[in-house]
């Protein structure tokens, strides 16, 4: 399993142009702690290329399909700048940089950000992404905006009110397009989640929150965005619903 070369780093200071200090919700405290500890080891291995258990490999392969779909969408028109929110180990950020984007990327987990910097240094054909530590819920004003704002496989860690606020902040930083994924609420997914919960321990650090398409569409509409493309990546149990929305 991959390990960060810099295990002892404390969460970094926030980039003042993008973030402000904000109190954290109980969910946020749990999610942040998870991705700075056991979640970091797990997800950095999943997003890497080393040997992993078959069940994690399903997530790796499903996620790869998601990234490929997003890159296909966003390279059909000339966009120049991108923000990748909750960038993890930088898979999408580096892909975008390879396609000529100037990318800022941030993640709330300091180990994740330092790992992204470490594994991706010198890897892209284009300009290296600027990786920084930051929280979507603390994104502030619009000193800087981007042609494209992305947020993949992050929102399903948070309940509706928090996702609504996060999407409002993310859209406010986009001059044109937002691409994000979420977990789609369907009768079948509700059923399987109920089954799954019976086998999970009570002290899980993260929980999956699902939303209907209409709920997400409404949040975006209120922010002045209209969904122009949507796609569901379903690969065994990996299930991520991604949309592209543009400013109206």
Report the nearest approach of ligand SAM to the CB of residue 129 (Å): 12
How many angstroms from the chain centroid is the CA of residue 168? 15
Q: Where are the beta strands (DSSP E) in the chain?
A: 81-85, 102-107, 130-133, 146-151, 174-184, 210-211, 225-235, 238-247
Taking CB atoms, the residue at the shortest distance from ligand SAM is 88
* 43 makes contact with ligand SAM (CB under 6 A): yes
Query: What is the DSSP code (8-state) at residue 23?
Result: P
The three-class DSSP label of residue 43 is helix
Question: Whose Cβ is closer to ligand SAM: residue 20's or residue 191's?
Answer: 20
Residue 62 binding ligand SAM, by CB under 6 A: no
Measured in degrees and rounded to the nearest 5, phi and psi for residue 159 equal: -75, 170
Report the distance separating Cα 240 and Cα 172, nearest Å.
Answer: 23
CA distance 229 to 177: 11
Binding of residue 179 to ligand SAM (CB under 6 A) = no
Nearer to ligand SAM, 46 or 220 (CB): 46
Contact string 132-171 vs ligand SAM (x = CB under 6 A): ---xxx--------------xxx--x--------------
Judged by CB under 6 A, which stretch of 50-58, 69-77, 106-114, 183-191 contacts ligand SAM?
Answer: 106-114
Using CB under 6 A as the binding rule, whether residue 120 contacts ligand SAM is answered as no
Residue 105's region, left for phi above 0, alpha for psi from -120 to 50, else beta, is: beta
CB nearer ligand SAM, residue 70 or residue 220: 70
Torsion angle in degrees (nearest 10) through CA of 136, 139, 145, 151: 0
Q: Based on the shown chain and the rule CB under 6 A, indicate whether residue 220 belongs to the binding site for ligand SAM.
A: no
Q: Which residues bind to ligand SAM, rule: CB under 6 A?
A: 31, 35, 43, 47, 63, 85-88, 91-92, 107-109, 112, 135-137, 152-154, 157
């Amino acid at each position: 399993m991959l390990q960060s070369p810099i295990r002892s780093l404390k969460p970094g200071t926030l980039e003042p142009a993008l973030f402000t200090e904000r109190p954290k919700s109980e969910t946020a405290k749990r999610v942040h702690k998870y991705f700075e500890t056991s979640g970091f080891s797990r997800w950095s291995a999943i997003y890497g290329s080393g040997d992993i258990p078959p069940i994690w490999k399903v997530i790796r392969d499903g996620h790869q399909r998601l990234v490929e779909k997003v890159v296909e969408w966003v390279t059909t028109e000339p966009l120049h700048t991108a923000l990748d929110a909750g960038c993890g180990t930088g898979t999408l950020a580096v892909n975008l940089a390879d396609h000529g984007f100037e990318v800022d990327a941030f993640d709330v987990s300091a180990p994740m950000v330092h790992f992204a910097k470490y594994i991706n240094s010198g890897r892209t054909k284009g300009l290296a992404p600027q990786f920084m530590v930051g929280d979507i819920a603390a994104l502030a004003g619009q000193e800087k905006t981007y042609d494209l704002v992305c947020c993949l496989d992050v929102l399903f860690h948070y309940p509706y009110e928090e996702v609504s606020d996060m999407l409002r902040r993310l859209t406010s930083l986009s001059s044109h397009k937002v691409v994000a994924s979420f977990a789609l609420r369907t009768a079948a997914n509700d059923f399987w989640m109920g089954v799954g919960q019976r086998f999970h321990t009570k002290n899980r650090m993260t929980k999956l929150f699902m939303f209907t398409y209409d709920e997400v569409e409404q949040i975006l509409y209120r922010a002045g965005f209209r969904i122009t493309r949507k796609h569901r990546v379903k690969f065994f149990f990996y299930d991520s619903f991604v949309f592209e929305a543009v400013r109206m």
